[in-house]
Structure 1
Amino acid sequence: MIWNLGSINADNFYLLPHLPGPGETISARKFRQGLGGKGANMSVAAARAGTRVMHIGALGADGGWALERLLEYGVETAHITLMEGATGHANIAVDFEGENNIVIFPGTNHEFTEEMIGAALSEASSGDWLLMQNETNGQNFAARTGKTLGLRLAYAAAPFDPEAILAIIDHIDLLVLNEVEAAQLRKATGAELRQLPVDDIVVTLGAGGCEWVSNKVHRIETYPAYPVEAVDTTGAGDTFTGYLVAGLDRGMTMPQAIDLAMRAGALMVTRHGTADVIPDLKDVRDHDFDV
């Protein structure tokens, strides 16, 4: 089972002819709102990948719709707390080439208490996965508590903050980064990825595929990407991570889980949206990639 200490956002999408520069005003061609946040995206991806996932999160009084949608998508929500304040949201600009930039307001995602986290993790079993990202507070307490309870910790280091990751790096079993974040981590630590105290590190490389650095079995492997026509890269990394951890939770080997996650991520970039359009396991297995 996966216990995901994660953000939940309302995602506001604006389709633009190009991404705006400093001081530029530009009219959006389309607008829509959906469920998002790195945490929610990963929970939905893990659930659609066929594993049981409990989301640990917080919503404002305006967030009841998000709770219902997570339930609809197969995510367990008993440890999502409704509180005062505004639900987190993200304003996402997407250009005609599928590139994006994002402005995030954390809202209730930064109002977790140790009591909320502890109550959830007290129900976990040794060997379960604890999944976290850097869009909430409470990570240090959750990491320490999770390791005390025998959980395996997967950390998606985004948005990247060297202090946040270094504070829990000794507890991390699986670290997922993109290429830019990996470079930032090397700079922050002064060390190569193979020198870090983390059993497994996966670096996503976009159209270049991904790299697996196993410090447990001392191997580095690169996996090519599946060729697709990208229309929107938003949420692709979250989909990859959710599927990756779900695959490992279901007993797959790391290469098997990476392949499944890469298929899911490739299919995701052919769709506009985030949590609402994450592909399910049947979609991923049935899709015929032209390789």
Structure 2
Amino acid sequence: MSVFNLGSINIDNFYRVPHIPGPGETLAAGAFSRGLGGKGANMSVAVARAAARSIHIGAVGHDGAWCVDRLMEYGVDTCHISRLDAQTGHANIAVADDGENQIVLFPGTNVELTDAMIGAALSEAGPGDTLLMQNETNGQIEAARMARNLDLRIVYAAAPFEAKTVSDIAEYADFLILNAVEAQQLQDALGKGLAELGIGHVVVTMGGDGSRWIDVASGAEHHVPALPVTPVDTTGAGDTFTGYLVAALDRGMPMAQAMTLATQAGALMVTRHGTADVIPDLKDIEDARLG
């Protein structure tokens, strides 16, 4: 089976800072680095490193050819990444000494995808494959419609969070993945509980409190505890969790086992500085002996 990921590709600019700057504060960075990122790219790499076939649907500009090369090096199928006459999306990321981060995004080519680009990629998909989406590109609703007609599993990671987009995609999605803050915002905005969205499975990540999975059909709720690690950078941890979860399901793992593997991957990720370039593979997780 394959995971088709309609997702962003960003050039990540990292600034190491003593603390997250407050409103109006000017803060000198102690270090700077640049890498591959974007929630979409991160998840595509995580899917590939979790031993599933990862096909990225996206776009870069004249400055992003190296991003495509990097994705290919990491095992991602890049045939459906378009090259546009515009600027690649980028993110300026402040990472504090305690591991917390602050991110400012410029979407660039991530929001210039066309239905034709998406359709060309999904024309290669079939029943049993997965469509994974986030909220850093355009085209999610049309992609979801196409995927539903093709009988794909549809996984929606609701970040950056927009309640209306979640509501619009709810009729198509099989899985919704969001963090605890987004879950509360969604319930407040829609006035309904997570089990009332019409989505079969809801996964909520809760940082140091682990994650929970709501199996709407059975009414059961399962909690997976976090693993004890010392975080140095939380950037990309949620994306790593999501990519591993989707890859594990694509490979036929039961949901509980997939959640455990995703938790291990996310825990290892926060012990590393960076995003897509440092996402762990299965051997890294085995060697780390987490859990």
Q: Give CA-to-partner distance per residue, 1:75-99, whole Å, 9 cap, x none.
A: 0000000011100000000110000
Asked whether 1:254 is paired with 2:240, we answer no
Structure 1 unmatched ranges of 5 or more:
none
Aligned residue type for 1:209? G
Aligned residue type for 1:46? V
Tell me the CA shift for residue 286 of structure 1.
Answer: 2.3
Aligned residue type for 2:253? M
Tell me the CA shift for residue 185 of structure 1.
Answer: 1.0
Aligned counterpart, 1:234: 235
Q: Give CA-to-partner distance per residue, 1:162-195, whole Å, 9 cap, x none.
A: 1111111110101101000000111122111122
The whole-number CA distance in structure 1 between the counterparts of 2:238 and 2:163 is: 19
The whole-number CA distance in structure 2 between the counterparts of 1:288 and 1:118 is: 41
The whole-number CA distance in structure 2 between the counterparts of 1:32 and 1:202 is: 32
Root mean square deviation of aligned Cα: 0.7
Provide the aligned length of Structure 1 versus Structure 2: 290
Q: Give CA-to-partner distance per residue, 1:119-173, whole Å, 9 cap, x none.
A: 0001101110000000000011000010001111000000000111111111010
Identity %, equivalent residues: 61
The residue matched to 1:155 in structure 2 has which SS?
A: strand
Aligned counterpart, 1:185: 186
The whole-number CA distance in structure 1 between the counterparts of 2:19 and 2:247 is: 35
Aligned residue type for 2:200? D
Q: Is the deviation greater in 191-200 or in 143-152? A: 191-200
Correspondences of 1:1-291 after superposition (within 5 Å): 1-289=2-290
The whole-number CA distance in structure 2 between the counterparts of 1:202 and 1:75 is: 25
Aligned residue type for 2:269? M
The whole-number CA distance in structure 2 between the counterparts of 1:224 and 1:84 is: 45
Q: Give CA-to-partner distance per residue, 1:195-230, whole Å, 9 cap, x none.
A: 221111100000000011011222101111011000
The residue matched to 1:240 in structure 2 has which SS?
A: helix
The whole-number CA distance in structure 2 between the counterparts of 1:76 and 1:232 is: 27
TM-score, with structure 2 as normaliser: 0.99
User: Which runs of structure 1 show a deviation greater than 4 angstroms over 4 or more consecutive aligned residues?
Assistant: none
Structure 2 unmatched ranges of 5 or more:
none
Aligned residue type for 2:89? G
